[in-house]
Amino acid sequence: MTMREALNLALDQALAHDERVFLLGEDIADPGASGPTKGLSTKYGTERVLDTPISESAIVGAAIGAAMEGFRPVAEIMIMDFIGIAADQIINNAAKLRFMTGGRTSAPITVRTQVYGGIGTGATHSQSLEAWFMHVPGLKVIVPSTPRDGKGLLTSAIFDDDPCIFVETIRLGPQRGMVPVDPGFSIPLGEADVKRPGSDVTLISYGRGVVEALGAATQLEADGVSAEVLDLRTLVPLDVAAMVESVGRTTRAVVVHDAVQFAGPGAEIAAILQRELFGRLSAPVERVGARFVPNPAPPALESQVYPSAQRIVAAVRRTLGLESAKTGAHG
Amino acid sequence: MTMREALNLALDQALAHDERVFLLGEDIADPGASGPTKGLSTKYGTERVLDTPISESAIVGAAIGAAMEGFRPVAEIMIMDFIGIAADQIINNAAKLRFMTGGRTSAPITVRTQVYGGIGTGATHSQSLEAWFMHVPGLKVIVPSTPRDGKGLLTSAIFDDDPCIFVETIRLGPQRGMVPVDPGFSIPLGEADVKRPGSDVTLISYGRGVVEALGAATQLEADGVSAEVLDLRTLVPLDVAAMVESVGRTTRAVVVHDAVQFAGPGAEIAAILQRELFGRLSAPVERVGARFVPNPAPPALESQVYPSAQRIVAAVRRTLGLESAKTGAHG
Amino acid sequence: MTADRTVGVSPEVQRRLYELMTLMKAADDRLSKGIASGELQCVYWPPRGQEAIAAAMGVCLRRDDQLVTNYRGLHDLIGKGVPLVEIYGEMLGRQTGSSRGKGGTMHIANPECGVMLSTGIVGAGPPVAVGLAMAAQRKGLDRVTVASFGDGATNTGSFHEAANMAALWDLPLVLLCQNNQYAEMTPTEHTMKISQVAHRAGGYGLPGVRVDGNDPLAVVAALTEAVDRGRSGGGPTLLECVTFRFRGHYFGDPMAYIPPERLAAALEADPIPRFRSRLRLAGICSEADLDEIEAAAVTAVEEALTAVLTAPGALVDELDRDVYADPRNCPA
Amino acid sequence: MTADRTVGVSPEVQRRLYELMTLMKAADDRLSKGIASGELQCVYWPPRGQEAIAAAMGVCLRRDDQLVTNYRGLHDLIGKGVPLVEIYGEMLGRQTGSSRGKGGTMHIANPECGVMLSTGIVGAGPPVAVGLAMAAQRKGLDRVTVASFGDGATNTGSFHEAANMAALWDLPLVLLCQNNQYAEMTPTEHTMKISQVAHRAGGYGLPGVRVDGNDPLAVVAALTEAVDRGRSGGGPTLLECVTFRFRGHYFGDPMAYIPPERLAAALEADPIPRFRSRLRLAGICSEADLDEIEAAAVTAVEEALTAVLTAPGALVDELDRDVYADPRNCPA
Ligand SMILES: Cc1ncc(C[n+]2csc(CCOP(=O)(O)OP(=O)(O)O)c2C)c(N)n1
Ligand SMILES: Cc1ncc(C[n+]2csc(CCOP(=O)(O)OP(=O)(O)O)c2C)c(N)n1
Ligand SMILES: [Mg+2]
Ligand SMILES: [Mg+2]
């Protein structure tokens, strides 16, 4: 099934099996719904799949309040660029409640949001801001790359006792893959997954970057380079052990993500690897992230901004000493 | 004069010399004002130093609109923890206007905001979120550590043609230093400053971290270790050349900041250094940032969270091979 | 509070209103046709049905009056005088675009015409409009700023903060709500309990007016009053114009969420044929006049589109421009 | 709309109101004295002067009714039954604190008493209160949630979004505005043009009521009505209680921004002596009764403070707890 169907199935089963679960957000109920919530209000009623006003701050705030009272709300922020509007509720209430109240309250919400990059909608409908939420203690940050992971991780997020930011990617929506339909299926948060084994270089990624990394790995294979693709799946908790194990073996790493490269998730990953594997790397950790520019609308320009298999291959070649490191920090 | 006075002087002179400048924010006018805006409404009138409702989003939005029309508004977000409320205006309007309109509009605003960490006000009045704004193309990010830099950089920010996030630090407010009173004095954005020369290790910092780094350098001197303290002053633009020059010489780097260490500004710095100086470092780049925890209110706990000279010294000793690297990634 | 309809609108202005409305409609029709056929590729949020409001802006606002609109701004932009080549050019990513093609449909500005901002973030416009109005007030100019937004936008905190500030500071601002009865797929009655958006005005201490947004003369009357109030230092107005979007939220929207009767009734109230018959009945335009106006609109649109389609696409080196004033500020 | 004052309040309840008010005042006095002398170290935003409102909550709300308050919450917390050792303990960073000392003054919660959240972010409480009220509604409970906030908070977008949702969904919520006429150093008339916060209710379609917040019986009457409405499915109410904060924004505030006449008039209307004489004149309490109530309050406060000051400080290992449900989730 497609990623969109897999996410839909996770929501569907959560609603079916646990009455504490409800969904709220803009345009998530039928007949308007078109994303992963499609069909669910018809099945479970508009009390459990609730259209809201355009009020991102109150959507998340309301989810927090309900979560404090034992519900498992799944709030949708339609597009990740809008998450700034809800940022205060996320960072100052959801992330900190458990700590600030010494464990007497907590906000086990899931905030689902979607990255629109790469489909021509321009600068304010395209940002990947997961790095923001990695930086705020108390939140978990999840970005699936396959339908299977999407279903398994969303299920875990909904039933996790901590607030989760669950980042979906519109370009992955139609992507297909095998998905266990068993409602008991879930994937633990904090476990990276080797999407392709290899021995010469590790491509560390998450979300859509994994698809580009796999594409790059295929191209590299033709050149006799064996690339391992490690899918982090969650950025918090971050599976440092898996990264260190893989890169310790391959001695080369390229981090790939659709988020802006500068001060993005890859910076933390590179900082960890250079410390944990000091003296054991054959090349510096390379990063391939979005260029430092507001996203342009025209496809011909936009395609220059996000990681592509080609840019990843170039970065890998730099780590192999096959290309000058001066080809640019932006991969 | 104190940092608070230096910032006040920068604002005062900007108001005096350029009628395009005005200030807006909560409780910034006399007789209520107590921070860097004190006295200014009395001197320039409440039209130019304007109290606003508690409406962070509209404060920044209004500044943007006025800036588009040629004004040089200085908006205050009282405490940095509240900046989430204004985040949408900052990232989707201020940062992107110039690009999205092909240069036909722009928003040369300055957003002044203050970090309250370290004074016992707890988890929601203490955060250092500058990493967020580094990650958004189009913004400049400035964090002064001395009164002189405060005045010079704030002056540059106000008259800079790009939107600037200017981060003040409450614990630095009473700190004294020599400040040029000449209204023509300014410090270019993007130039790091060696606050103390040294040869064995480079302590890279900005804002309050610089004070701790200088304290650590003094302690290290007693042990015969010569530490250079490099004050970045601005995070965007980031003076990569100065970092690379200094660390290239000392071959060791410790990055220090009050922001949470994980996915903080130090991650980007470490990622850059490990790439630019691959094979030339004697030790991994160490980071000393705030612990990964919502800030606790009691001073005895809070003092464990932020970088201290002691934690920096321990990190330096790790880079010198004098202490086990396992003493913890959190310095 | 209801607008006074007794204000006279000259035959010339009425004719001009119709010219604008037909131009807006022709521009929408052509774009819609082109996208539907695959001839044109762009994202598009059609304002078809809301032309009376934008046309009223076209006759009530001066060139130096300013506008903040949004993604559904085609009609507003035309009303405010932005050349069609710039609008189409931007939507289609060409160098003739208002931003040389790199901003896209949602981000069109033309400061020379007073169009300062189009925003893709619902509710993000009014605060900026507050700042523009502050600037005019500070400069002692008698111009007004119009913030144009939808019904759904009035549920955002951003709208609230802006409306409160505008009232507080007596700003020369018109908060113009184009209430098209839906926000994306959700009808307004599912997102607010009040029966009129105009009732929100009372929470700020500014006048709230509701008019038939499909009647250009009603909008002109109310807008004239609001603009005069702003210009003369009387402060802001919340003006709600009730209308409908005939093509749904985005181009291609199947509109399954609109009850057929509701859509039919809305189409029945299409402002364009309604105003056309009015002009004829009032003897302001003959059938031939009206046909000519419509034909001229179609011609203007075709000409603009041809110019756009023969223009080169946005340059890739645009990526190195306008991130900062000085490109050297970008990280390597 | 003004609250109906004819609701009778029994002598017992009136006495209870006075007990609560004097306890709130004694708790404030003692803390203020201790901070002023250097005996106690903490940040503190004193509610002195606003006791009538919180006391009314104390008698109108059930234990299972929920409260969301803020940094200026000492009186509200006492009204809702949070033990003083927990409040003082939290303010002073002791293990007896509601969060074992690590949350601090601004972040006190006690779910057993229904106090779900205190927030340091102005306006951030009402959206969470919406969620709590949704939870009650979904569970079919007849409890209400009170969101308590200041006049200044009603200028935030967050308030607007929450009020709209609460009205839309008929939530069992009371939006209780303690209008103390200032937000930090800025008088309310400098931040909104409307004369009454209650007028904001019309923008959402919920009842707005304004009462004298220094008269506990007036607040009880209005709050009873609002609570009953919420409990019985009638939806939310915006209740504005007009009062004053005698000690300024934070403890130590020099209050230079308050005109002396304004402060004097406010002090004149101090709810506590006023209610004291009323109780005496109405024959509900004798002078001796009243003295005894006041003395009991002082004793209770001293006992709590002693318990707190002899309790150990928050443990450093609290840093490893409660970041996540499972501490292993923290990055190394
Ligand atoms: C802050 C924000 N939330 C959600 C969206 C997605 N969105 C785009 S248009 C829209 C509906 C807006 O409705 P309304 O304000 O009535 O304007 P209309 O589209 O009807 O003209 C929504 C929810 C957005 N762009 N921005
Ligand atoms: C979002 C936000 N902005 C600003 C502040 C700083 N601040 C703390 S209290 C306060 C005034 C609040 O006034 P009001 O809502 O009337 O409550 P009061 O303090 O008078 O009880 C302000 C501006 C804050 N805590 N949160
Ligand atoms: Mg609408
Ligand atoms: Mg107040």
Atom number of ligand 2 nearest to Cα D154: 15
Alpha carbons B157 and B164: distance in angstroms, whole number: 6
Residues written for chain C:
332
Residue B12 belongs to some domain of the structure: yes
Q: Whose CA is nearest to atom 13 of ligand 1?
A: C183
Closest CA to B198 of B257, B136, B252, B160: B252
- Give yes or no for a contact between A294 and A305, defined as CB atoms under 8 angstroms apart: no
Contacts of B305 in chain D (CB under 8 A): 319
Alpha carbons D169 and D162: distance in angstroms, whole number: 11
What are the pLDDT digits (tens) for D207-217?
999 999 999 99
- Give yes or no for a contact between A254 and A229, defined as CB atoms under 8 angstroms apart: no
Q: How far is CA A305 from CA A261, A298, B238, B275, in A?
A: 10, 11, 21, 21
Residue B217 belongs to some domain of the structure: yes
Angle at C276 between CA C271 and CA C278, to 5 degrees: 95
In this structure, how many other beta carbons lie within 10 angstroms of the beta carbon of residue D273? 11
What integer pLDDT is reported at residue C5 of this predicted model?
47
Q: Which of B138, B172, B206 is the last residue of a domain?
A: B172
Active site residue A323: no
* Cross-chain residue pair B81–D332, CB shorter than 8 Å: no
Judged by DSSP in three states, B53 sits in coil
List all residues 6 or more positions away from C153 whose beta carbon is below 8 Å from its beta carbon.
A54, C70, C122, C123, C125, C126, C159, C177, C183
Q: Which of D119, D134, D168 is best to mutate for the A interface (most A CBs within 10 A)? A: D134
B155/B40 same-domain check: yes
The interface predicted TM-score (ipTM) is 0.98
- C184 CB within 6 A, ligand 1: yes
- Cα of A23 vs its chain's centroid, Å: 20
B114/B236 same-domain check: no
B153/B199 same-domain check: no
A91/A60 same-domain check: yes
- C109 CB within 6 A, ligand 1: no
- Give yes or no for a contact between D236 and D132, defined as CB atoms under 8 angstroms apart: no
- D73 CB within 6 A, ligand 2: no
* Cross-chain residue pair D127–A65, CB shorter than 8 Å: yes
- Residue whose pair of structure tokens reads 């200017």 in the numeric block: B166
- Amino acid letter, residue B82: F
Please, which pLDDT band fits residue B327 given cuts at 50, 70 and 90?
Answer: low
Residue A299 belongs to some domain of the structure: yes
Atom number of ligand 1 nearest to Cα C50: 21
The boundaries of the domain holding residue B143 are 3-172
Q: How far is CA D32 from CA C254, D48, D247, D299, in A?
A: 64, 10, 9, 16
**pLDDT, mean of residues C210-228:** 98
- Residue whose pair of structure tokens reads 């130096």 in the numeric block: C64
Q: Which domains does chain D have, with CATH numbers?
A: 11-309 (3.40.50.970)
Q: Could you tell me the pTM of the whole model?
A: 0.98
Alpha carbons A282 and A164: distance in angstroms, whole number: 36
Q: Whose CA is nearest to atom 11 of ligand 2?
A: D183
What is the number of CB-based contacts under 8 A between chain A and chain C? Answer: 117
- Beta-strand runs (E) in B3-68: 21-25, 49-51
- Give yes or no for a contact between A27 and A79, defined as CB atoms under 8 angstroms apart: no
Interchain contact D189–C (C-beta under 8 A): no
Active site residue A69: no
Tokens standing for residue D165 = 């949702």
Which of D161, D199, D206 comes nearest C157 by C-beta? D161
Please, which pLDDT band fits residue D92 given cuts at 50, 70 and 90?
Answer: very high
Q: Chain A: residue nearest D67 by CA?
A: A65
A251/A142 same-domain check: no
Q: How far is CA D289 from CA D15, D272, D293, in A?
A: 9, 15, 6
List subunits contacting chain B, requiring 3 or more Cβ pairs under 8 Å. Answer: A, C, D
- Residue whose pair of structure tokens reads 């230092």 in the numeric block: C233
In a 10 Å sphere around its CB, with 0-12 CB exposed, 13-18 middle and 19+ buried, how is residue D256 labelled? exposed
Interchain contact B266–A (C-beta under 8 A): yes
Alpha carbons A122 and B100: distance in angstroms, whole number: 8
* Cross-chain residue pair A122–C157, CB shorter than 8 Å: no
Give the number of C-alpha atoms closer than 13 A to the C-alpha of residue D64, restricted to the C-beta side. 8
Which of B263, B294, B325 comes nearest A131 by C-beta? B263
Side-by-side strand order, sheet with C237-242? C115-119, C66-70, C145-150, C173-179, C237-242, C208-212
B63/B205 same-domain check: no
Alpha carbons A83 and A56: distance in angstroms, whole number: 7
Distance from CA of B48 to the nearest CA of C (A): 10
What are the pLDDT digits (tens) for D124-154?
999 999 999 999 999 999 999 999 999 999 9
Residue B328 belongs to some domain of the structure: no
Please, which pLDDT band fits residue A324 given cuts at 50, 70 and 90?
Answer: confident
Rounded to the nearest angstrom, the distance between the alpha carbon of C118 and the centre of ligand 3 is 16
- C159 CB within 6 A, ligand 1: no
- A206 CB within 6 A, ligand 1: no
Residue A186 belongs to some domain of the structure: no
Mean pLDDT computed over every residue of chain B = 97
Closest CA to D53 of D208, D226, D213: D213
For chain A, percent of residues with pLDDT exceeding 90: 96
- Residue whose pair of structure tokens reads 């194990």 in the numeric block: A245
- D153 CB within 6 A, ligand 2: yes
Contacts of D193 in chain C (CB under 8 A): 164, 167-168, 204-206
What are the pLDDT digits (tens) for C90-118?
999 999 999 999 999 999 999 999 999 99
**pLDDT, mean of residues C125-135:** 98
Q: Where are the alpha helices (DSSP H) in chain D?
A: 11-37, 51-60, 74-79, 84-91, 125-139, 157-168, 216-231, 260-268, 271-281, 287-309
* Cross-chain residue pair D103–B122, CB shorter than 8 Å: yes
Which of D41, D158, D319 comes nearest B301 by C-beta? D319
The CATH number linked to B13 is 3.40.50.970
What integer pLDDT is reported at residue B326 of this predicted model?
58
What integer pLDDT is reported at residue C8 of this predicted model?
84
- Residue whose pair of structure tokens reads 């205006």 in the numeric block: B89
What are the pLDDT digits (tens) for A259-306?
999 999 999 999 999 999 999 999 999 999 999 999 999 999 999 999
Which of C313, C319, C332 comes nearest A293 by C-beta? C319
A205/A308 same-domain check: yes
- Give yes or no for a contact between A240 and A271, defined as CB atoms under 8 angstroms apart: no
What integer pLDDT is reported at residue D3 of this predicted model?
41
Residue A178 belongs to some domain of the structure: no
- D184 CB within 6 A, ligand 2: yes
Instruction: Answer left, alpha or beta for residue C104, where phi above 0 means left and psi between -120 and 50 means alpha.
Output: left
The CATH number linked to A274 is 3.40.50.920
Mean pLDDT computed over every residue of chain A = 97
Residue B181 belongs to some domain of the structure: no
B9/B133 same-domain check: yes
- Give yes or no for a contact between A243 and A294, defined as CB atoms under 8 angstroms apart: no
Comparing C123 with D3, which gets the higher pLDDT? C123
What integer pLDDT is reported at residue B328 of this predicted model?
52
Q: Chain B: residue nearest A283 by CA?
A: B278
Give the DSSP letter of residue D246: T
* Cross-chain residue pair C324–B58, CB shorter than 8 Å: no
What integer pLDDT is reported at residue C273 of this predicted model?
98
Overall domain count for chain B: 2
What are the pLDDT digits (tens) for D225-260?
999 999 999 999 999 999 999 999 999 999 999 999
Give the DSSP letter of residue C188: G
For chain D, percent of residues with pLDDT exceeding 90: 97
Q: Chain C: residue nearest A55 by CA?
A: C156
- C35 CB within 6 A, ligand 1: no
Closest CA to A108 of A57, A67, A77: A67
Mean pLDDT computed over every residue of chain D = 96
**pLDDT, mean of residues A208-214:** 98
* Cross-chain residue pair B99–A286, CB shorter than 8 Å: no
Q: Give the D-side interface with B, CB within 8 Å.
A: 41-43, 93, 101-107, 119-123, 152-153, 155-158, 183-186, 190-192, 256-257, 313-314, 316, 318-319, 323, 330-332
In this structure, how many other beta carbons lie within 10 angstroms of the beta carbon of residue A121? 22
Catalytic residue (one of A26, A56, A168, A228) = A56
Burial call A132-152: b when 16+ CB within 10 Å, e when fewer: bbbbbbbbbbbbbbbbbbbbb
Phi, psi of C127 (to 5 degrees): -60, -40
| Position D7 pLDDT exceeds 80 | no
Please, which pLDDT band fits residue C332 given cuts at 50, 70 and 90?
Answer: confident
Mind telling me the catalytic residues of B?
56, 125
Residue B179 belongs to some domain of the structure: no
B157/B197 same-domain check: no
Distance from CA of A247 to the nearest CA of D (A): 18
Phi, psi of A174 (to 5 degrees): -85, -5
What integer pLDDT is reported at residue D8 of this predicted model?
84
Q: Chain A: residue nearest D64 by CA?
A: A69
B267/B155 same-domain check: no
Q: Which of B21, B51, B74, B99 is best to mutate for the C interface (most C CBs within 10 A)? A: B99
- Residue whose pair of structure tokens reads 């400061």 in the numeric block: C111
Give the DSSP letter of residue A53: -
Pocket test for ligand 2, best of D44, D159, D179, D184 (most atoms within 8 A of CB): D184
B255/B298 same-domain check: yes
Atom number of ligand 1 nearest to Cα C245: 20
* Cross-chain residue pair B84–A82, CB shorter than 8 Å: no
What are the pLDDT digits (tens) for B200-227?
999 999 999 999 999 999 999 999 999 9
- Give yes or no for a contact between D120 and B124, defined as CB atoms under 8 angstroms apart: yes
| Position A108 pLDDT exceeds 50 | yes
Q: Which of B172, B205, B225 is the last residue of a domain?
A: B172
Tokens standing for residue D271 = 């709810």
What integer pLDDT is reported at residue C1 of this predicted model?
37
- A54 CB within 6 A, ligand 1: yes
What is the number of CB-based contacts under 8 A between chain B and chain C? Answer: 158
Q: Which residues are near ligand 4, the ion (C-beta closer than 5 Å)?
A: D 150-152, 180, 183
B205/B301 same-domain check: yes
Alpha carbons B134 and B235: distance in angstroms, whole number: 7
